[in-house]
Structure 1
Amino acid sequence: MGSPVLDVSIPPAIKDYNRNMGGVDLSDALIGYYSILHKTKKWYRSFLFHFIDIAIVNAFILYKEMAIARQEKVMSHKAFRETLVMELKAVGSTTTAPPQPPPPASQGALHKPVYFSQDGTVGRRRCVHCHQRTTVK
């Protein structure tokens, strides 16, 4: 003698959650395949690595949908990541700024060594200007 089976309707919030949960599972799976996450003692670095992973996976999903819409051949996830790395690497090498000139030295730091004759020096001596007891040199 079994208990009677009751048909309970699923609340709309649960239906919506279950319908969209597949996208989260797909995203988590794609992140897990080629994650850039590294162990780190700084908590914010873990967040940064995870956000970069999410951005890459989202870009891959968008690329895949666009390629299918255009009826083009779709790259694999790994090939997409490799292409992305090569393109980002190329961006950094082509946009190098000219080197900046060094900042001008303060007037106090500009001094030239003065030649002392052999008679004037007995042993080694310190530069008077460099070893003044001031906070500004």
Structure 2
Amino acid sequence: MSDDETDVLEFSLGAGRYCIDIAHVDEIVDAGEDVTPIPNSEQHVIGVVDLRGETTTVVDPRVKLGEDGAADGTRIVVLSDHDATGLLVDDVHEVEAVGEAALDESAASETTRGIIRRDDRFVVWVEPDALV
């Protein structure tokens, strides 16, 4: 990996592909655990799960990204810089190095850094701080 490249974790939400800087990822776990809802929580908060004795808040990134679909993902991407918080995603695909030249920042928004063009698709680079 060169100096101007960043490793990103690519994941899906519905038909969309997204990625996050791998430096923000602590671990990836199966979402097989029952999520306990939290009454009167913010709309994007699904609930909490117990991960190895630690209460972890699970959020639905679809809400902050304005995506349709049910929060019924199969994986939880636990974030490293947010106390015990994880993103519920449909699937996790791969970690890839992305060069700065591959990032189109003209599509950046409150929640995204921009768009990465892959051979047959676009991948939206999301900012974890904006999703939690």
TM-score w.r.t. the length of structure 1 is: 0.19
| Higher share in helix | 1
**Higher Cα Rg, which structure:** 1
| Higher share in strand | 2
